[in-house]
Amino acid sequence: MDMTGKTVLITGASRGIGAETARVFAGAGANVALVARGQKDIADLAGEIGEQAIAIPCNVANSREMAASVDATVETFGGLDVLINNAGVIEPIAHLSEADPEAWGDVIDINLKGVFYGMRAAVPVMKARGGGSVLTISSGAAHGPVEAWSHYCASKAAANMLTRCLDKEEAAQGIRAIGLSPGTVATQMQREIKSSGINPVSQLEWDVHIPADWPARALLWMCGPEADAWCGQEISLRDEDIRRKVGLI
């Protein structure tokens, strides 16, 4: 995909999938807006990428900050073509009956409300320009229960439904809403899962996790017409045919 002249806003851009996605899209010619709470990390990444990047400190769980991030992106680059809802957390991992209610709710605020706030701020801007893509990082946890992940499973299942709702409401206006379930990825989140020692996912060996640039490259492919068949749905990187289409095999 040639993204020259396109602008992409990436949440959770300070590390992991988000940071690799910024590098991949910038390499394809896109302007990238790096959104995250880690100010130094996104500033360093913007410095690495150069003039194509802007760092925007933001808590995605705050609707006003998310709207301001979209405004800053449009002011800097003149528009917004792709929103990548990547920001997500899994800590604290705990059984439902023992979970701290406030901490449980914080995960919902980031993983679910953050996705809605991004969509709410970005979609009107995209519609005014004739359309755009809203790509949201999902998970196998959206479709099946995992021990001690009630907050994560619930938030990812709900975020998947937001993708489906957005497609139903806005596809006719040129909005392409697609989810990406990457599988297990070698990121800091997997280190947190590993250290918990709870459920089979924490027992996986490190070398079974895919590198963070795989979902990043998949997200770039999803901006092209070949991914149109998955609008309103979710793409899984566990699917060998998808990996082949993206160029990962």
Instruction: Return the active site residues.
Output: 138, 152, 156
| Tokens linked to 179 | 């989810």
One-letter amino acid for residue 67 of the chain: A
SS3 211: coil
Residue 11 contacts residue 80 (beta carbons within 8 Å) = no
One-letter amino acid for residue 186 of the chain: A
Q: Which helix (H) or strand (E) holds 214?
A: helix 213-222
CA 54 to mean position of chain CA atoms = 18
CA–CA distances in Å: residue 144 to residues 98, 106, 182: 20, 21, 15
CA nearest neighbour of 217 among 191, 195, 196, 245:
245
**What is the rounded CA–CA span in Å between residue 231 and residue 218?**
14
Cβ count within 10 A of residue 29? 13
